[in-house]
Structure 1
């Protein structure tokens, strides 16, 4: 897919400001592992020429625990570097949570690939450090959140192959403009680009009313999760995919 994304309608949520979000962490458990880096990429409303103003903010935190070699191999941050260069994780969590809360309160969609991981990790870390969660700051549930992974599974359900961010970049013709993904800010830019390319291929997603984005995606995720759990059962494996989105039932 080499064409540029088609401009969304001026009244679409996609034409307005977007805030991309990603983290890199000490492992793969969103409830037990710790924050190492975070990135926010703010894109302004779509201009008539199809461009957007873009601002990137990144954080490096000292998570207060050892970073396993397996995690360092993915994102390139060692325990030594995090301790020497990273800020106290509580300060980083506060700033990230404040920025996300402001965006959600203003109705700006927070765009995150596999958002359930990053948002669960953030809420768990905030609780661990005695800080108000994003939900507590909002006084309501999270949202709006837009997850290209959830959307892709819904609009192209029967496409074969994996659906990692690298796979979606290849499928939707997005060049991450780097030697590889897994740096938080690179992942965020790629996620935003994938979302816009996906909207070109499936313009119906831009017509979802802003107020229905969360319920539409929650239902889409649940449909996929139920189906995938059935697949696991048929293979004699434990059906362990969480049905709730964007946070697990245990955090509700």
Structure 2
């Protein structure tokens, strides 16, 4: 049986912004989907990130600073629980679905450093694997399709319902279901062993970034730099 018909675990974050080096986690979800698409297990977190949540971010995910401070778990406690949960999934060999993994997994890595916790890579002794990133795969298998590649756009393209967008649990479930649909539609993806699929995505993500960087340098910013590492951006010294 191919991987897309086996259990999948999806991981998603909602955050204070888009910079993996400085922004913080506000909510997180780890959700297990069975082959029939049913959610069989889930964990969700609301954090007090320890900083003011910008209004722009609150408008997207609906979590205000006051709500996070009143109801959120201290960030260091939640980060330890989230990291442990994700590491356990990967240690079991179950594929981890993460939309735009380069962002979510890198931000979690930086949060671990911020609080003096072992990162996923340190717990596993290697980089997180196997990871399945619907953003990277979609760009690889359908390179020239026009239009956006955000999760809501992928859901529309692959016929997957997305309810309560920008809720970490809802986005995680939708990402896993999109990946299943990708497996159904693209034989080259579904028949690939997970280790090979992971390595393919690392190469594809690097090529996609290099292509974007070249485009930006030609059109708008001659010094543009687009990160190529995937699924975790290496820490700067």
Fold-level match, TM-score > 0.5?
yes
User: Once the two structures are superposed, what CA deviation does each residue of 1:108-149 show, in whole Å capped at 9, x if it has no partner?
Assistant: 111010011100000000110011111111111111111000
Matched, 1:95 2:81: yes
Report the equivalent of 1:231. 215
Q: Which runs of 5+ in 1 are unaligned?
A: 1-9
Q: Which stretch shows the higher mean deviation, 200-209 or 82-91?
A: 200-209
Matched, 1:184 2:168: yes
Q: Which stretch shows the higher mean deviation, 236-245 or 100-109?
A: 236-245
In structure 2, how many angstroms separate the alpha carbons of the residues matched to 1:62 and 1:51?
Answer: 32
In structure 1, how many angstroms separate the alpha carbons of the residues matched to 2:37 and 2:46?
Answer: 29
Once the two structures are superposed, the pairs formed by residues 1-80 of structure 1 within 5 Å of their partners are 10=1, 12-44=2-34, 46=35, 50-80=36-66
- Give the secondary-structure state (helix, strand or coil) at the position aligned to 1:56: strand
Report the equivalent of 1:134. 120
Matched, 1:125 2:132: no
Q: Which runs of 5+ in 2 are unaligned?
A: none
In structure 2, how many angstroms separate the alpha carbons of the residues matched to 1:61 and 1:225?
Answer: 31
Give the C-alpha shift of residue 57 in structure 1.
1.4
Q: TM-score, normalised by structure 2?
A: 0.95
In structure 2, how many angstroms separate the alpha carbons of the residues matched to 1:214 and 1:172?
Answer: 21
Asked whether the 8 Å contact 2:31–2:173 carries over to 1, the reply is yes
Q: TM-score, normalised by structure 1?
A: 0.89
- Give the secondary-structure state (helix, strand or coil) at the position aligned to 2:27: strand
- Give the secondary-structure state (helix, strand or coil) at the position aligned to 2:94: coil
Asked whether the 8 Å contact 2:37–2:177 carries over to 1, the reply is no
Give the C-alpha shift of residue 193 in structure 1.
1.2
Matched, 1:162 2:152: no
Q: 1:202 aligns with which of 166, 178, 186?
A: 186
Report the equivalent of 1:171. 157
In structure 2, how many angstroms separate the alpha carbons of the residues matched to 1:250 and 1:63?
Answer: 21
In structure 1, how many angstroms separate the alpha carbons of the residues matched to 2:131 and 2:210?
Answer: 21
Report the equivalent of 2:232. 247
Give the C-alpha shift of residue 243 in structure 1.
1.1
In structure 2, how many angstroms separate the alpha carbons of the residues matched to 1:17 and 1:251?
Answer: 35
Q: Quick one: structure 1 residues 14 and 26, their matched pair in 2 at CA, closer, same or farther if it must change by over 3 Å?
A: same
Over the residues paired in the alignment, what is the CA RMSD in angstroms?
A: 1.5
